[in-house]
Amino acid sequence: MDVKRFVKILNADFYTGVPDSQLKPLCNYLMAEYGIDQKHHVIAANEGNCTALAAGYHLATGKIPVVYMQNSGEGNIINPVASLLNDKVYAIPVIFVVGWRGEPGIHDEPQHIYQGQVTVKLLEDMDIRAFVIRQDTTMEDVSAAMKDFQKVLSQGKSVAFVIGKSGLSYDGKVKYVNDNTMRREEIIKHIVKVSGEDPIISTTGKASRELFEIRETNGQSHKYDFLTVGSMGHSSSIALGVAINKPQQKIWCIDGDGAALMHMGSMAVIGANAPANLVHIVINNGAHETVGGMPTVASKVDLVGVAKACGYHSAVKVYNFADLEKELNAAKQRNILSFIEVACAIGSRADLGRPTTKAVDNKECFMRYLATQI
Ligand SMILES: Cc1ncc(C[n+]2csc(CCOP(=O)(O)OP(=O)(O)O)c2C)c(N)n1
């Protein structure tokens, strides 16, 4: 259904969320209508973060907020839903809008399959009543569901609209740009060149897809790479776990700014442990490029300052390929925990593919390779 009709039915004046490709019509509509405006629309770091922010809005206004997210974010909302919103605690009503990746019967990537199977059940387990919007769902169906939901919301319980493939549409266009010149795929090519045979742990989204295709183009094995296809925000912690246990081996983490922000506490833990063999690279395009380009707050954050404050021994930001090459080589040579932020343009190849090998095969291949290192 047309997103403008959908938001009319929701009748809310505050939205907070983490963008999702399946919710692009809603995200683009909100960006066109409000941009980022703290009164009406805040893109937050993770979905739990959104839920708590929405709760604060309710406490201050008495009104009902909307939290939008991909179903991958359900794990991030469970704690604040169960121990903050739930009617056995504070009874704070929220309307969730959940993009349904991996819906049973619809082909999707491995990281979405199980999450897709349990999406509605998880909501029900959290005492959130759900209504599914599919391509053929009418405005009347949604209005009737909202009418039912009003009763539930008035009891201090939360509800969810689960959006299936093509469930929402938007006829407006929004373009996301920044002033940076380096493209992510080129940046990753440089990292691949300098890292040589060192293991790489790469983040969720197109960065991992690009890394996979670069290996294919180079005729190289995928054994060097652990692609964090799901579990957004956790690749740097995976890299920490590997680095601590392979102290003689240089380990590279390719992170995104959205992912780094999502679980930024990991930087404090990395800094405190300070593995000398870890290089943490954040490719910062100030955007959730993989799911459409909607902004993160990273263009307003001094990530190098954060890394330094967390205890990284070296932290720099680069804006061009000459400096990138220089810093990558320096990080390769020295033996201290290093952080490199790379200013990146928004965009990617239209014909970018997806990993063609199975996730479990990727893991086994990576583990066999790691086992040969000390
Ligand atoms: C918990 C969770 N929430 C949302 C998503 C959907 N998602 C996949 S990639 C992505 C954007 C990642 O942004 P960033 O790390 O900045 O990398 P970029 O796409 O810009 O390269 C999002 C929101 C997800 N996979 N997991």
Task: Summarize pLDDT for 140-198 with one digit per residue, the tens.
Answer: 999 999 999 999 999 999 999 999 999 999 999 999 999 999 999 999 999 999 999 99
Number of domains within the chain:
2
Q: How many CA atoms lie within 13 A of 278 on its CB side?
A: 32
Query: What is the pTM for the complete model shown?
Result: 0.98
- For a ligand 1 pocket test, name from 163, 232, 264 the mutation site with the most ligand atoms within 8 angstroms of its C-beta: 232
**Domain boundary, last residue among 116, 134, 163:** 163
Q: Write down the pLDDT at residue 127.
A: 98
Q: Is the pLDDT of residue 295 over 90?
A: yes
Is residue 37 located within the same domain as residue 120?
Answer: yes
Same domain for 213 and 156: no
Is residue 152 assigned to a domain?
A: yes
In Å, how far are 53, 222, 340, 344, 345 from 186, measured between CA atoms? 37, 18, 16, 10, 11
Q: Mark whether 202 and 157 lie in a shared domain.
A: no
pLDDT, one tens digit per residue, over 313-338 is 999 999 999 999 999 999 999 999 99
Residue 117 counted as domain residue: yes
User: Ligand 1, closest atom to CA 19?
Assistant: 23
- The per-residue pLDDT for 374 is 80
For residue 84, give the DSSP letter.
I
Instruction: Identify whether residues 192 and 155 lie together within a single domain.
Output: no
Residues 339 and 230 in one domain: yes
Q: Is the backbone of residue 90 left (phi > 0), alpha (psi -120 to 50) or beta? A: alpha
Is the residue at 177 inside a domain? no
Asked which of 128, 163, 198 is the last residue of a domain, the reply is 163
State the chain's mean pLDDT as an integer: 97
Question: Are 193 and 134 members of one domain?
Answer: no
Query: 202 and 113 share a domain?
Result: no
Report how far ligand 1's centroid is from the alpha carbon of 193 (Å).
25
Looking at residue 264, its pLDDT comes to 98
- Ligand 1 pocket (Cβ < 6 Å) reads 18-20, 70, 72-73, 76, 184, 203-207, 232, 256-259, 285, 287-291, 296
pLDDT tens sequence across 10-56: 999 999 999 999 999 999 999 999 999 889 999 999 999 999 999 99
Task: Tell me: do 199 and 285 sit in the same domain.
Answer: yes
CA dist 244 and 272 (Å) reads 12
Q: Which atom of ligand 1 approaches the CA of 70 most closely? A: 4
Does 335 map to a domain?
yes
CB 289 within 8 A of CB 184: yes
- Of ligand 1's listed atoms, the one at least distance from the Cα of 256 is 15
Whether 126 maps to a domain, the answer reads yes
Please tell me the predicted confidence (pLDDT) of residue 16: 98
The whole domain housing 203 covers 184-371
- Is the pLDDT reported for residue 373 higher than 90? no
Same domain, 70 and 112: yes
Q: Are 217 and 193 within 8 A, CB to CB?
A: no
Whole-number pLDDT of residue 82:
98
**251-280 tens-digit pLDDT:** 999 999 999 999 999 999 999 999 999 999
Q: Is residue 178 part of a domain?
A: no
Do 104 and 233 have their domain in common?
A: no
pLDDT tens for 53-64 read 999 999 999 999
Same domain for 244 and 328, yes or no, is: yes
Q: Give a yes or no: residue 153 inside a domain.
A: yes
Q: Are residues 29 and 152 in the same domain?
A: yes
| d(C-alpha 182, C-alpha 44), whole Å | 25
For the beta carbon of residue 350, count every other beta carbon within 10 angstroms.
5
The answer to whether position 125 is within a domain reads yes
> Residue 250: which CATH number?
3.40.50.970
